[in-house]
Amino acid sequence: MEKDRTSEMNLKFNEFEKPGLYLIFSDGSKLILTKENIELTVETYWNDTTQIPSRVRKTIEFQRCYFCPLKRIEDMCDAIRPTIPFLEIVDKYVSFDKVTAVYRDDIKDILYISTTTMSQALKYVSILSLMHYCRKGRTYWRYFLGMDPLMQGREIASRLYLNLMFLHHCNMDEMNKVTSEFKEEIKITSKNQVARMKLICQNDAFSNAFVNTQIITEILSMNLDKALEAAFKNFEETYRDSDPRPIQ
């Protein structure tokens, strides 16, 4: 049986100098999702009518969401941009293929590394899309502070609600109002994202992967009180397990 090369991979940190998401596959090939590479790929696809035909661009599903700040501009939805580079390589891999994901934060200049699967990598891209590319999602940047695409769902939920609590000074009425609006808009954004992917990608597995990235189902399924309680419990358990000294 062939060894998994991702477990033996020696990463050269100088290869990840620009902020963005880097995916390294078991066969050694790479997908670089920096802003420059994403925009270059998107420009190529947008200018090539054989890639995205005019009839597709004019469909209702391909239009921007009704609450998008750029809804009157005829251009590719910003949220779909990080997914475009995937279209050329998606048929080469299956959902359980191993991937090493490296994310460089553009604010803290920190490298986050995770060995995962192709399906999880798609989830990372979807979160990256929501937090940094979706024009509406970007208006929630304060609530996303301290998050990165490689976080697990529960980590994202905990950080999101703790940010809400801090920014709204524990005012439950304000927090519930913002959370309600946030959930509804993300549901619509995710639904439209899936519809757009089905228009430009024939691979069902790829399209279906985006159904599971609707801003972490844990966030949508948890009410605010339970979410805050879970956030503190998660932090408490993490701290206790990481500190060998007994709690007095």
- Residue 248 in any domain: the answer is no
- Residue 159 in any domain: the answer is yes
- Residue 103 in any domain: the answer is yes
Token duo for residue 175: 């927090």
Token duo for residue 158: 């905990």
Angle between helices 204-211 and 118-128 (to 10 degrees): 60
Determine contact, residues 213/123, Cβ cutoff 8 Å: yes
Number of domains in the chain: 1
pLDDT value at residue 137: 85
pLDDT value at residue 83: 84
- Residue 98 in any domain: the answer is yes
Angle between helices 172-200 and 204-211 (to 10 degrees): 170
Taking CB atoms within 8 Å and a gap of at least 24, the contacts of 160-169 are: 160/219, 161/224, 161/227, 161/228, 161/231, 162/228, 162/231, 164/224, 165/228, 167/142, 167/143
Over the stretch 194-242, which tens digit does the pLDDT of each residue have? 788 778 776 655 555 565 555 554 454 556 666 667 667 766 766 665 5
- Residue 220 in any domain: the answer is yes
DSSP strands (E only) in the chain: 20-25, 30-34, 98-104, 111-117
Residues facing 103 on adjacent strands: 21, 112
Q: Is residue 114 helix, strand or coil?
A: strand
**Termini Cα distance of the chain:** 50
pLDDT value at residue 121: 80
For 58-105, the DSSP string reads TSGGGSPPTT-TTTTS-S--GGGGGGGGGGGTGGG--TT-EEEEEEE-
The overall average pLDDT reported for the chain is 78
Categorize the per-residue pLDDT at 22 as very low, low, confident or very high, splitting at 50, 70 and 90: very high
Cα 236 versus chain centre, distance: 26
Cβ–Cβ contacts within 10 Å for residue 57, how many?
Answer: 16
Over the stretch 71-110, which tens digit does the pLDDT of each residue have? 888 788 898 888 888 877 776 777 788 889 999 987 777 8
Greater pLDDT, 37 or 118: 37
Q: Is residue 10 helix, strand or coil?
A: coil
- Residue 247 in any domain: the answer is no
Over the stretch 165-201, which tens digit does the pLDDT of each residue have? 899 998 988 888 888 888 788 778 878 887 887 787 7
Cα 195 versus chain centre, distance: 17
Q: How many Å apart are CA 204 and CA 231, to the nearest integer?
A: 35
The mean pLDDT value for 42-71 works out to 87
- Residue 114 in any domain: the answer is yes
Region of 146 on the Ramachandran plot (φ > 0 left; ψ -120 to 50 alpha; else beta): left
Q: Is the pTM of this model over 0.85?
A: no
Q: Is the pLDDT of residue 68 over 50?
A: yes
pLDDT value at residue 224: 61
- Residue 75 in any domain: the answer is yes
Cβ–Cβ contacts within 10 Å for residue 206, how many?
Answer: 21
Domain of residue 117, residue span: 5-242
Proportion of the chain above pLDDT 90, given as a percent? 10
